[in-house]
Amino acid sequence: GAVVSQHPSWVICKSGTSVKIECRSLDFQATTMFWYRQFPKQSLMLMATSNEGSKATYEQGVEKDKFLINHASLTLSTLTVTSAHPEDSSFYICSYRTRDGPQHFGDGTRLSIL
Amino acid sequence: QKEVEQDPGPLSVPEGAIVSLNCTYSNSAFQYFMWYRQYSRKGPELLMYTYSSGNKEDGRFTAQVDKSSKYISLFIRDSQPSDSATYLCAMSGPSNTGKLIFGQGTTLQVKP
């Protein structure tokens, strides 16, 4: 099956730090990438959608200057949480899909801001 | 009212039992239906992907879609302790742009 690699799996950092999360598709070329965040015991909340080479489309209420998304190639996307604060602590998950297929998810990144 | 309703559980069954997980939805435009399994502190793993109404079977898993009732189900036969996880239904459509609407997820525990 499809493999999506997400890195790092867990990061702890001080308030005010910027954190970059990488997401790679390993065995297929994705057309669309999605970034989600998930709070404990809750479902996934879509943050943004992007296509390779295009600007990301952010969901309502998600600050695009806070959560920078770069989708420079078919196989790599990054999410940078800028000037992170404790309220940004969450579980961040990326996913890819091919043109007509379902989404395949990475294993997530647990972000803890002290 | 949420677009997709899913009972959060928890659902506890003995090993070997048949498990039935369900979701209802309100948007008749949904055409693509998925079930994902999520273990604690991991990303969701795709179990079943179906288009429109009907049944689909894969090993111990069977997915059913009844568009007339706006109701989807996932059945797990011969459940194992390793099936203990949260199960998320998700759907999209009609153009399958990829944007998913998720249920809340049902937590399943299979006891040895």
Average pLDDT over residues A40-49: 91
pLDDT at residue A52, as a whole number? 76
Handedness of CA A27, A30, A35, A38 (dihedral sign): negative
Q: Tell me if A49 and B102 make a contact (CB, 8 A cut-off).
A: no
Cα–Cα distance for residue pair A58/B42, rounded to 1 Å: 24
Q: Give the residue from chain B lying closest to A49, CA to CA.
A: B99
Other Cβ atoms within 10 Å of B57 Cβ, number = 12
Q: Say whether pLDDT at A3 is over 70.
A: yes
A101 close contact with B: CB closer than 8 A: yes
Which residues from B are below 8 Å from A110, CB to CB? 41
Cα–Cα distance for residue pair A90/A39, rounded to 1 Å: 6
pLDDT band at A30 (very low <50, low <70, confident <90, very high): confident
Which residues from A are below 8 Å from B100, CB to CB? 46, 103
pLDDT tens for B6-25 read 998 999 999 999 999 999 99
pLDDT band at B96 (very low <50, low <70, confident <90, very high): low
- Which one of A7-16, A65-74, B1-10 scores highest in mean pLDDT? A7-16
**Using the 8-state DSSP alphabet, how is residue B59 labeled?**
T
pLDDT above 90: percentage of residues in chain A: 66
A3 close contact with B: CB closer than 8 A: no
Q: Give the residue from chain A lying closest to B46, CA to CA.
A: A104
Q: Give the residue from chain A lying closest to B50, CA to CA.
A: A102
* Burial class, B99, CB count within 10 angstroms (exposed 0-12 / middle 13-18 / buried 19+): middle
pLDDT tens for B25-79 read 999 999 999 999 999 999 999 999 998 888 999 999 999 999 999 999 999 999 9
